[in-house]
Amino acid sequence: MRHPEVVVAGAGQAGLAAAYHLRRSGLVPDRDFVVLDGSPRPGGAWQFRWPSLTYGRVHGMHALPGMELTGADPQRSSAEVVGGYFAAYEDAFGLRVRRPVRVHAVREDPDAPGRLRVETSDGVWSARALINATGTWERPFWPRYPGQETFRGRQLHTADYPGPYDDAFTGRRVVVTGGGTSAVQHLLEISEVAAGTLWVTRRPPVFTTGPFDAERGREAVARVERRVRDGLPPRSVVSVTGLPVTEAVERARERGLLDRLPPFERITPDGVAWADGRTARADTLLWATGFRPVVRHLAPLRLREPGGGIRLDGTRAVRDPRVHLVGYGPSASTIGANRAGRAAVREIRALLGHPAPAGG
């Protein structure tokens, strides 16, 4: 049993931002706090992004606190660019991330009242506070439809999307389901090689033009925060900002590529069918239907509200002030994750009885 003051679970954007502020506040890695990451290497969820997502096509990537990402080749894959940046960041600030370490459960420590028992694939830690930054990538959401098990083609999720130059897409009829930016990126790529594509969304997509300025950003975050304050499962910030109109998106709209269809009623062995009798043949179903927060390991603490979400006051779980969620709900964007990491550390220092440093 090891006894750091703080355990940080996850070393993506939010986890590294929190670790940076812990380090800056005077806490010592491996003695006062430990960062555990379930991924095999630095990069958070970015390391798993599809190869065709180049850094130049990444939407809304913000640098980590204290170290800018400069000189990146926009033609390199985002997985390589961000993975290398995160690795350099960990080294620059001596964060000593332990990986791969999976957090299995967090519960009350029966041997140390007031502390949390963090059970992992690499032993047990007893901590006074937890910063949970486990993200969403490991929990892709797959909708269920009647007949889904009868489909004779391939079904893929964004989490396993290999890029457009795959047998699942080349010369195939592809149905892409989902209304976010990933769905649009997939459609634009796949349309270049597929025999045909259809786009299915739950509601008509909202395309936005103009800069995503600070006022629009605050409004989007506020909408997500309201759900979290009400104890409801969070929606991502991206889901309330609309789809940005780039030149490529405008061309696709002119071609009719982004003419969406409403959700189908069922899946058939050879495609999909709607309630009004329409059908479409398909060889591949690609689900760009998003992800859910990875928080199952927190279940022993009973943090969920009746609405299904974890209610937060800032980053602090209302039902247990020792637990802070960063990269969750309103802090799921990269800039939100940076701010949440700093806010969580300020509150944890107060919990531990350490005053915040000047300017910290």
Higher pLDDT, 92 or 205: 92
Threshold 0.95, pTM exceeds: no
Q: What is the mean pLDDT of residues 215-226?
A: 70
> Which residues does 357 contact at the CB level (< 8 Å), separation at least 6?
24, 25, 26
4, pLDDT greater than 70: yes
Q: What percent of the chain is predicted at pLDDT more than 70?
A: 93
CB 290 within 8 A of CB 178: yes
Q: How far apart are alpha carbons 304 and 306 in whole angstroms?
A: 7
pLDDT band at 200 (very low <50, low <70, confident <90, very high): very high
Cα atoms in the Cβ-side hemisphere of radius 13 Å centred on 44: 27
The helix (H) or strand (E) run that includes residue 331 is none
Higher pLDDT, 59 or 267: 267
pLDDT band at 360 (very low <50, low <70, confident <90, very high): very low
Residue of 157, 188, 194, 346 whose CA lies nearest to 283: 194
DSSP string, 281-312: E-SEEEE---B----GGGGGG--B-TTSSB-E
144, pLDDT greater than 60: yes
CB 331 within 8 A of CB 339: yes
Among 66-80, 217-231, 258-272, 287-301, whose mean pLDDT is lowest? 217-231
CA 83 to chain centre: 15
Task: Report whether the peptide linkage leading into residue 293 is cis, meaning its omega lies within 30 degrees of zero.
Answer: no
pLDDT band at 224 (very low <50, low <70, confident <90, very high): confident
CB 138 within 8 A of CB 38: yes
213, pLDDT greater than 60: no
Backbone angles phi, psi at 175, to 5 degrees: -110, 120
215, pLDDT greater than 70: no
DSSP string, 233-294: PPPPSGGGT-EE--HHHHHHHHHTTT-EEPPPSEEETTEEE-TTS-EEE-SEEEE---B---
pLDDT band at 235 (very low <50, low <70, confident <90, very high): confident
Helix, strand, coil fractions of the chain, as percent rounded to 5: 30, 20, 50
Higher pLDDT, 355 or 65: 65
234, pLDDT greater than 80: no
Q: What is the pLDDT of residues 18-45, one digit of tens each?
A: 999 999 999 999 999 999 999 999 999 9
56, pLDDT greater than 60: yes
CA 20 to chain centre: 20
**pLDDT score at 357:** 54
Q: What is the pLDDT of residues 329-350, one digit of tens each?
A: 877 777 778 889 999 999 999 9
**pLDDT score at 222:** 73
150, pLDDT greater than 70: yes
Q: What is the pLDDT of residues 240-298, one digit of tens each?
A: 777 888 889 999 999 999 999 999 999 999 999 999 999 999 999 999 999 999 999 99
Cα atoms in the Cβ-side hemisphere of radius 13 Å centred on 4: 21
In eight-state DSSP terms, residue 64 is P
CB 69 within 8 A of CB 63: yes
Q: What percent of the chain is predicted at pLDDT more than 90?
A: 75
**pLDDT score at 208:** 82
Q: How far apart are alpha carbons 224 and 348 in whole angstroms?
A: 23
